[in-house]
C-alpha cells in the first residue's frame, strides 16, 4: 500500500502537486516534506514488501504517518433492540 502510494505520488501526481497539497494543509517546508514522504513511502514500503528490516520500516511508517483525531475518543454507539 505505502510503496504504490509513493509511486503514485512520484509519477502520477508529481512532487510539485503533492507539495502544493501539503502547503494547502499548512505544513511548513512543504516541498521538502513532499520529497521526504515520497522517499519514506518508497523506501519503507519497499522494505516491507520484500521483508527487509521489517521492524524498522514499520516503525518509521507508524511514527511518520499522520494520525488524525488521535486525541478524540470515539463516542460509544447506542444499541437499539427492536
pLDDT tens per residue across span 5-60: 888 888 888 899 999 988 888 888 988 988 988 998 899 999 989 898 888 888 88
> Domain residues of the chain, as ranges?
2-64
pLDDT of residue 78: 61
pLDDT of residue 74: 54
51: left (phi over 0), alpha (psi -120 to 50) or beta: left
pLDDT of residue 59: 86
32 or 69, which is more confident: 32
**Cα 1 to Cα 57: distance, rounded to the nearest angstrom:** 13
- Whole-model pTM: value is 0.69
**Cα 79 to Cα 71: distance, rounded to the nearest angstrom:** 25
70 or 33, which is more confident: 33
Amino acid at each position: 500500500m505505502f510503496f504504490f502510494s509513493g509511486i503514485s505520488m512520484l509519477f502520477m501526481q508529481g512532487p510539485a502537486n503533492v507539495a502544493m497539497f501539503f502547503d494547502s494543509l499548512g505544513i511548513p517546508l512543504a516541498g521538502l516534506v513532499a520529497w521526504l514522504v515520497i522517499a519514506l513511502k518508497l523506501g519503507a514500503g519497499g522494505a516491507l514488501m520484500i521483508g527487509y528490516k521489517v521492524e524498522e520500516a514499520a516503525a518509521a511508517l507508524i511514527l511518520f504517518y499522520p494520525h488524525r483525531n488521535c486525541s478524540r475518543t470515539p463516542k460509544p454507539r447506542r444499541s437499539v433492540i427492536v
